[in-house]
Structure 1
Amino acid sequence: MNSKDVTPELLQRYLQHDCTPEEEARVNAWYAALNDREIHVLPLTPAQQDLVERSMLRRIRQTLGEHAPMPYVQPQRARPSRLFYQIAASVAILALAAGAYWFTTRMPFHSGQVSRVTETRHVVNTSRTILRQSLPDGSVVWLQPGSEMDYPAAFAATERTLQLKGEAFFSIARDPSKPFLITSGNVLTRVLGTSFNIKAYEHAPSIEVSVMTGKVSVNIQDSIDNTTHADASSVSLVAQQRARYVKAQHRLEKQEGQDLPELDIWKSTSFVFENEPLRNVLPLLNEKFSVHIETENKALMNCLLRADLSNLNLPDILEMLSLSVDATYELEGNTIRLRGQGCSPLPNPK
């Protein structure tokens, strides 16, 4: 089912039970196809799920051209049916398609000395936010703006393979029987189950692999046939170590005993906020993750955050925070900028 056959207008009629039988069948087939493609959301606690569902109603209204005033305290709403949220999620996916695109095709997929034809997924982050993508084995990749990756729709029996251009953070599900192999330019990264960051921009002078947890093997590959030779340079990394491949010298070096600031935003932390104004929240996040988050509209500082942000990294926290206060965020160099209508100041107690 082609997503172009399903428009927000059609989904609106579907939600209002105003479709023809043919249109209803078209939406059902399209949604079933989305399920087959394993579209995932953030792992949420019940409190976070409630927050997402209430915020989803807002996003649906915006998608369908409806608007409602934004109060300074988000009201509780009756919980619609699960089917409604399934279709609501589809509306949101359709509306957010401008930020990232994904397609499946038949193409050769290479990894090490293995070459085969398989169904491959191609994901490109065309937004200015960090894109979270789940993989078939339960691993998760956070793709930086402008980055892209290719991976099989179903991993092989003996290995898991992925190709990366740009930068991404990986949290790989452990499976000793299936090593995870990531090709990025002339560098092959091999893991069993760990978390690490790869920075592999095409025109950058180097490729860097920085490890947060576990053990990682990094090898130089031949630039012609994309295979790893026995005499190629190789390093093994553990937590808080980095491998740097210098392209001009075709050399791999191991760096340790130094700060790895690229890992700061990926360290999980826990915050619980109970109607806390954003002016008090942002300084805590800035200090904890060594970042600079600012608001474009000062009225956002009046918004109250009520959320359980347990065991989340900064990108996931930003996603939940944006949902809660009706805002979006963008990366602008070293600055994270929040945009939104904002909230009215709380009335002064008498």
Structure 2
Amino acid sequence: MKYKTYNAEDFLFDESFRQWTSGTSPEATAFWEQWLAQNPDRAYVVKNAQALVRTLNEHYRDNATEARFTSELNRLMEVAAEHREADLEAPIIPLQPQFRWRWAAAVLLTVGLSIWMYSHIIPKARSASYAHLTRLAHLPLQEKINTSNHTANVLLSDGSLVTLRPNSRLSYPKQFDKSSRTVYLDGEAFFDVVKNPARPFLIYANQTVTKVLGTSFLVRAFEGEKAVTVTVRTGRVSVYAQEDFENARLSGLRRIQGVVLTPNQELSYNLDDNRLMKALVDKPKVVIPESVNHEQVFEDTPVAKVFSTIEHTYGVNLIYNEDDLSACLINFTFSNESLLERIDVICQTIGASYEVLDGQIVITSKGCK
């Protein structure tokens, strides 16, 4: 194949591009991966073009002819023109049929009508079911279904390990692509993800998207349940409503409304009211290595230093006024006490109080005399 500079509309008419998007040609895949490597500035346009191809193929999978595509694109252009009429400086001029496909595709890509397509062609695409999402995946997937009463381990191609709980299923590619690592979950699983900042790890599960670079965490997302929970063991995890995540990606927004979780924090996503709620887990666990002695001895130690040690031990953020506590010294030896037991003992000793807010512990004190 000969390399050339592709315009936005060129992608949709290039047979090899459509083959690459559909995953039907190794030659096309090799060509386009090389083309993207040489043209990284076109990555966003390529993603939009692929989204359009997949959406139209899925919508017309039983009769995916160019005539059907052309008719649908012309209809979308009419709707878009109605919404943007106030901003247009010139009227829409009817084009000859042979030019409508190219012109519509170019405008679709440049003004972001792919978002409109996701909202109207497939009304549930942004919050699609596990089955629908796996059909639309741009890479061939294999599936692991755990019908036993025990957990089942799934080793992914990047070395990440997924512990699949009973009555759960996971779909994943045999080999991840070069830009991201995406899997699909229906059920409950513990993920121990190999760190790779260049390739984010994405889990699509029951109207949510969990994004990590490398960490360990639990996701519970059964399609029959009205809530999704994500619990972090180590590292940092970002969780988004799938609709917000897809809209941001399609529109090119760098900032997505979501929730960041750190160790011993959990998120609950209520599907009925689309609320993301962060909290501290019921029983926070130590996050320092098992080989480290968990016994902690403090002798005439400034309480701020004690709090700093506890933060390091549990990965939990403690909020307090260090100046108010500067005169507070404590003498304690902790061994088997839980996080909140330790905080409670310290607060009683220095006359302080605490509350758990938004996955953090807020300590209030008037200080020590």
TM range (shorter): 0.3 to 0.5
As a proportion of its length, which structure holds more strand?
1
As a proportion of its length, which structure holds more helix?
2
Q: Max radius of gyration: which structure?
A: 2
